[in-house]
Structure 1
Amino acid sequence: MKISVIGTGLIGSQVVRELTAAGHDAAGHSRSTGIDLITGDGLDEALRDAEVVVDVANSPTFDEASVDFFRTSVPNLLAAAQAAGVGHIVTLSIVGVDQVPGLVYYQAKTLQEDLVRAGPIPYSIVHATQFMEFVVAALEWTTDGDAVRLPSTALQPVSSAEVAATVAEVAAGPPLHGIRAIAGPEIYALDDLGRVVLAAKGDRRHVVTDETAGLFAAVKGNALIPPEGTRLGTTHFRDWLRSR
């Protein structure tokens, strides 16, 4: 099966490897290979003869510009996919994305999903919880001297490898016309996750619980915890940290 993967970052590169290992003709496409989702340049060539397109491209920012990114990029991709005769589009999104109205980036991802559902291509949406790599990066966004300020937002972090495997599995199957979700095996408070990371790295900074700090300050309750029946990965956060 010929599969075009749009986005060659953390997830896209792993999806291509997974699909290739399974015997599919998979290729990754991004700005570095000559496509531009905003102008549409290069999409026709990237999708030529593709049976499936996997969209794991992301907005370069998490602010208001992310809404414009998806408002423009998704119709461009859908139009090119329809012109190429693509029979299945797989889109990666986020568990609880429609439950956090105060977070502009989540509004943008909700718009992305709505456009895909309303589009002309049979679709599948994969919902994932926060990547373990993302949790580590988030510590740097709210560092204030020796303190890392984090809210106690409940998260269920998942390894990017297990997300990529799920996306590849969905891409190789028939359109779901719905959602498949993947989450990590454990629930943590984000501030506690920060303490785990700092301890594992021997980092002398300390975590201060601050419910107003960072991207996840807008999240209320268990909005980012997946529903019952969600497939759970087997990689535990502490094991993942040790492996790195």
Structure 2
Amino acid sequence: MHALWQQFDQLGTEMIVTKAGRRMFPTFQVQISGMDPTAEYVLLMDFIPVDDKRYRYAFHSSSWLVAGRADVAAPSRMHFHPDSPARGAQWMKQTVSFDTLKLTNNLLDDNGHMILNSMHRYQPRFHVVYVDPAPNSHLNAYRNFSSFSFPETRFMSVTAYQNHRITQLKIASNPFAKGFRTTDPQDWVGNSRPPSVWCPPEGRTEPLTAKPGEQRSWGSKTLISETGGNSFVSGGAEWTVPPL
């Protein structure tokens, strides 16, 4: 997904957040190498603010402007890949996709979704944790993980797309929107006319003039552990992932 992420990044990626939770597109996917094939690893993600600012979109200049200081940070959570823990051989044999991850702006969410403030910029982070079988594994907690972040995956959280070019590129690229493409996708990215129909990942259509509503759950299970800040427990040991 690297090339697609770069396309969105050049326009200023936006991700929809809803009360019910919305899946990311592009999806966060990684290919991993260098693991011990027989050892077990936990893969997880979190999201950190890029800065301490809140933004608004200026339609006359098609740009984001600082609107003030950031809102109070939402509760910190981590999203565990549902196949965790798994052996290195399994992780390395195929692309790992975090397609069950959902974003929400509901501070009281009890579904395990990632809680973000709207109109704030975020950086997704990817963490690989070695499941140390040693009895005293907690003593090596800070050495048993690696963290990665990719600048092209930064995005602005929104409740409705602000930049119509983002809307066009999402429709042109998202396979769930295939049935709603009425012209050549190559024309959409450079066309100033926004499309008349917007298609959420679930396939439900809404007019672009309406604010996207809540989505129904796909029934996917998200594993979240909240043990204070960015700490989590797996394999009997507790780790803390510090900020980059």
More strand by share: 2
Give the TM-score normalised by structure 2: 0.25
Q: Which has the higher contact order (CA 8 A, sep 6+)?
A: 2
| Higher normalized helix content (fraction of residues) | 1
TM-score computed with the length of structure 1 as normaliser: 0.25
